[in-house]
Structure 1
């Protein structure tokens, strides 16, 4: 079919719905399991009706209505209906009381929309604040509902009174700061952003998307639901993501495209791996991955599983979702790149705001009609976020000579290990190549002398076992020594946002005072002497070490080594030569050296700097011995 993207559309959501209703009439726009489809004409009429209902309850232009609904067609149509006449603010129903209280106060909510009969803390919070509670009852048709509650004076605003610059949607950033930042997107932002996404995905009438993404984030709302409406295509609104239902839904509805975050893709291909017959009858034109980095091996497995190209994209709430995407075939898709601009201007800036050239690392900045004009509750963040007409995204990356964008990580997540700046995402990528590792995340831990140290959390494959030493040896073959984490933790899963981004700050908090590893914790050392050796390391380094952690990778240096040697001699009268400790830099090897005479200490993996370190310290052996004597 001929794309609708070339058809002029007004810069408001109401005008878009009216134009699509007139042009596409009875064509399906929303579908849902066991519900009748709703057409473009019916959607336009229904959102007008609900708009009038909201106006009758006193909710009009400039008023904010929070929406707390589970995924499904009502979440989509409630967003469209409210945004047409007022400002919608979809929220995650799983938020806790304290979080909801903050958000309701911050957005100055006029009403809350929630499913009728649902026992939810937001009801008491809203009533305590004088906020109207509107109870939603779903009808037989996908997305159709009625509202009950609220008694404000009728709004005098016409249904489609909003202008392009008026706010239409409030979303909250999914970052890791103490409080999420409020992002108000205008009608013009929504139209531009969803138009960019529709064009990037090649959406035309007849296309059908299976949506599993939450409808309280931009990925699901703007780059899927709204983008499909701009393109004149349709969406299957599911109840949310469940790995065991995606393939059956694909067989039932025969969607032409599917969008998800990497963790979801991984779960789906895992289901296909265990039951290849489940793929029968599925034929996808394209698959999109966004919201967090997609490992190259997972991309390859997705394409092999479905026989369809995977388009990796990059987006953010402040840009109404998509910023860049790899081109559709026959365009060139580059591995590990999030593609080229979908419509906005992209620049790479240094700390002073100067524009950098191809293949130079810096902060990614964007500008365009899809980009918001500032946070509603963070003036200080706004002052730092905008530079020369560009919004500084906080993401660190580069563009190549062809304009393809590569994300290296968040600028705030850079780890400063003794002056060396480390991008945790680079370590994640290498760790995921380990055959025992499913997921990985590097993060910072405080260090008494380095300032920050590098740690990593691993999710292992079922039945897999991996040691700290083995993991570090694997990394040393592929990364510079200073990037190798000194502490490795094995976890059941990684803390993530609803859009799949790893919350590294939560890992930092969780392991700030934890033993060095779950496999080789200090408790693994048997005997009083070995326990005392751990205590000496802890005293000298200011932290608890793991049994196989390398002294120098935990921040040890020649002065601290002399101090450790001194304490050993005081306690056990050995070893005589401090250089011996250079050759045996782990508790495991030092314990064998001290307490098991005649036994060859276990080999310790040596990094690329080990030979140089030994040569330099050997030259200073006399000085070190003197230091050790003074320490005693």
Structure 2
């Protein structure tokens, strides 16, 4: 069976009473999880959802996300999972570009979802806890091809609008198999996370890794360092997944949890950005768990490399290729480079996306002789360990969230007072990188940083809004008139740029 939802169906038969999902005080065995997914399938069918439909999913980390997501895959539909902080403007784009026919939202953030759905002529199904029940009926999974779209994950580029990476049923299953093997996850494991499930890390690299082997998934929302540690201790979790800022928060959490309380915790899985080795070492010293770091993109289903229990992590390395995945370092002509030399990181294997949705030109740009070109600059050593040393893509990783400056710049240019704008990432001890906006105003215009931040907050998800602002007379440009971001003094802006507080109205 190629339908990725078959994992839950299979475990419901082979291990019906094994714990599958936990959130707060609510628990589901695999048999109960299949029953909940089946009930959700019935409700979705009643709303007209069927095979081939694209459904916008705006749900937080919750049991309802897991249930609705699997129900859509089971029906042969495609889940278009997006950030719950998305504004109406952003949701409008996703709805139109993905050609969505239905919308699923969450009761705590339904205003924007409902408004966007209405503007698109659609009715949003707003979920809340217990919105999905249970049934004794067992529905057949939709017959799908392994290359059929299971999910659309939107990822921006350095220019243009966000692109929808088409991940197939094969991609999701391959991700789960590769990472469960690399991390030595078995059915006896219990993994917890507070990661957003709409993101590839939570939804593919965690959820499918867990269900690939019939382990259990425990969810926490919202993230709190002490709370996640206490959750791990209370439920004897054997694994926890998070981004570097989460590990740093847990490392410094004010908690009574000790390494003895976490004696079951053998695996700490980190991704989303490079985790400083000193943080990993300090976490192991305090709590006893080994933190393993990895590298992956939405386009590679979140699975490319990972360090492993058998191969101690090297300083700032992101580990080796996971099973079934090949990596090469290519020069500017697409030719492989020897160990130690830096070039573009290229990936091949069953985790690589099918295409960018409705963007054949962009798809063609990132594939070369069977390789997916990541746009990241890296190097490998003789052992196959990978280092990411730079980025071709103008990407800022803020607290584990990928933020693409071009989208923010386009919004800045829409402000009537702004003449020129550049958004960059500057170093930040807590988040890894922080967003800074450098703007030049039209002659005679005045604009306070507080006003600009408020204006952006009305048009962008909160994590995309810069916290640092610098006004200049003009931005440095090259011979062609292109703004030269490399000429911007990032250190100076990080220390002297204005940091306006959020304005509430």
TM-score range, shorter chain: 0.7 to 0.9
Equivalent residue pairs, number: 423
8 Å CA contact retained: 1:138, 1:146 = no
Which residue of structure 2 lines up, in the alignment, with residue 71 of structure 1? 61
Deviation of 1:17 (Å): 2.2
Deviation of 1:101 (Å): 0.8
Q: Decide which moves more: 259-268 or 369-378.
A: 369-378
How many angstroms apart in 2 are the aligned matches of 1:245 and 1:21? 30
How many angstroms apart in 2 are the aligned matches of 1:22 and 1:70? 29
Deviation of 1:49 (Å): 3.1
Change (3 A) 1:325 1:128: same
1:51 lines up with 2:41 in the alignment: yes
Deviation of 1:227 (Å): 0.9
Which residue of structure 1 lines up, in the alignment, with residue 285 of structure 2? 304
Which residue of structure 2 lines up, in the alignment, with residue 84 of structure 1? 74
Which residue of structure 2 lines up, in the alignment, with residue 555 of structure 1? none
SS across alignment from 2:79: strand
Change (3 A) 1:64 1:146: farther
Change (3 A) 1:56 1:365: same
Alignment map for 1:520-531 (pairs within 5 Å): none
Which residue of structure 2 lines up, in the alignment, with residue 21 of structure 1? 12
Which residue of structure 2 lines up, in the alignment, with residue 107 of structure 1? 98
Which residue of structure 1 lines up, in the alignment, with residue 189 of structure 2? 207
How many angstroms apart in 2 are the aligned matches of 1:194 and 1:210? 16
8 Å CA contact retained: 1:66, 1:113 = yes
Which residue of structure 2 lines up, in the alignment, with residue 130 of structure 1? 121
Deviation of 1:32 (Å): 1.2
8 Å CA contact retained: 1:25, 1:39 = yes
Deviation of 1:166 (Å): 1.1
Change (3 A) 1:459 1:331: closer
CA offsets, 1:209-256, max 9 Å, x none? 111100101110011111100011001011231223112212211210
8 Å CA contact retained: 1:73, 1:238 = no
Which residue of structure 2 lines up, in the alignment, with residue 347 of structure 1? 328
8 Å CA contact retained: 1:515, 1:544 = no
8 Å CA contact retained: 1:169, 1:185 = yes
Which residue of structure 2 lines up, in the alignment, with residue 623 of structure 1? none
Superposition TM-score, scaled by structure 2 size: 0.76
Deviation of 1:177 (Å): 4.7
How many angstroms apart in 2 are the aligned matches of 1:22 and 1:78? 20
Alignment gaps of 5+ in structure 2 = 399-404, 406-421, 431-455, 457-462, 476-486, 494-505
Deviation of 1:76 (Å): 1.4
Alignment map for 1:140-159 (pairs within 5 Å): 145=132, 159=141
Change (3 A) 1:173 1:117: closer
SS across alignment from 2:5: helix
How many angstroms apart in 2 are the aligned matches of 1:58 and 1:258? 37
8 Å CA contact retained: 1:21, 1:40 = yes
1:281 lines up with 2:275 in the alignment: no
Deviation of 1:413 (Å): 4.2
How many angstroms apart in 1 are the aligned matches of 2:155 and 2:28? 31
1:161 lines up with 2:151 in the alignment: no
1:196 to 178, 184, 187: 178
Which residue of structure 1 lines up, in the alignment, with residue 445 of structure 2? none
Alignment map for 1:172-187 (pairs within 5 Å): 172-173=154-155, 177-187=159-169
How many angstroms apart in 1 are the aligned matches of 2:378 and 2:427? 24
1:292 to 264, 268, 273: 273
8 Å CA contact retained: 1:30, 1:236 = yes
Deviation of 1:400 (Å): 0.8
1:270 to 245, 252, 269: 252
Deviation of 1:128 (Å): 2.5
8 Å CA contact retained: 1:194, 1:320 = no
Higher normalized helix content (fraction of residues): 1
Change (3 A) 1:14 1:460: closer
8 Å CA contact retained: 2:233, 2:257 = no
Deviation of 1:159 (Å): 4.0
Change (3 A) 1:224 1:117: closer
SS across alignment from 2:393: helix
Deviation of 1:168 (Å): 1.0
8 Å CA contact retained: 1:11, 1:164 = yes
Q: How big is the alpha-carbon RMSD for the aligned residues of Structure 1 and Structure 2?
A: 3.4
1:337 lines up with 2:317 in the alignment: yes
Deviation of 1:72 (Å): 1.3
SS across alignment from 1:412: coil
Deviation of 1:119 (Å): 3.9
How many angstroms apart in 2 are the aligned matches of 1:512 and 1:335? 37
8 Å CA contact retained: 1:243, 1:268 = yes
Which residue of structure 1 lines up, in the alignment, with residue 342 of structure 2? 361
Change (3 A) 1:178 1:38: same
2:352 to 359, 371, 375: 371
How many angstroms apart in 2 are the aligned matches of 1:457 and 1:369? 35
8 Å CA contact retained: 1:515, 1:545 = no
8 Å CA contact retained: 1:109, 1:131 = no
8 Å CA contact retained: 1:116, 1:135 = yes
1:244 lines up with 2:226 in the alignment: yes
Change (3 A) 1:58 1:297: same
Which residue of structure 2 lines up, in the alignment, with residue 407 of structure 1? 388
8 Å CA contact retained: 1:83, 1:168 = yes
How many angstroms apart in 1 are the aligned matches of 2:272 and 2:146? 27
1:513 lines up with 2:472 in the alignment: yes
Higher normalized strand content (fraction of residues): 2
SS across alignment from 1:138: coil
Change (3 A) 1:208 1:456: closer
SS across alignment from 2:354: coil
How many angstroms apart in 2 are the aligned matches of 1:383 and 1:99? 26
How many angstroms apart in 2 are the aligned matches of 1:400 and 1:354? 17
Change (3 A) 1:130 1:544: closer
Which residue of structure 1 lines up, in the alignment, with residue 235 of structure 2? 253
8 Å CA contact retained: 1:11, 1:188 = yes
Deviation of 1:340 (Å): 1.0
Change (3 A) 1:309 1:280: closer
Superposition TM-score, scaled by structure 1 size: 0.61
SS across alignment from 1:372: coil
How many angstroms apart in 2 are the aligned matches of 1:203 and 1:456? 35
CA offsets, 1:300-346, max 9 Å, x none? 21221221211111111111111010122x33432221111112111
8 Å CA contact retained: 1:203, 1:228 = yes
8 Å CA contact retained: 1:208, 1:234 = yes
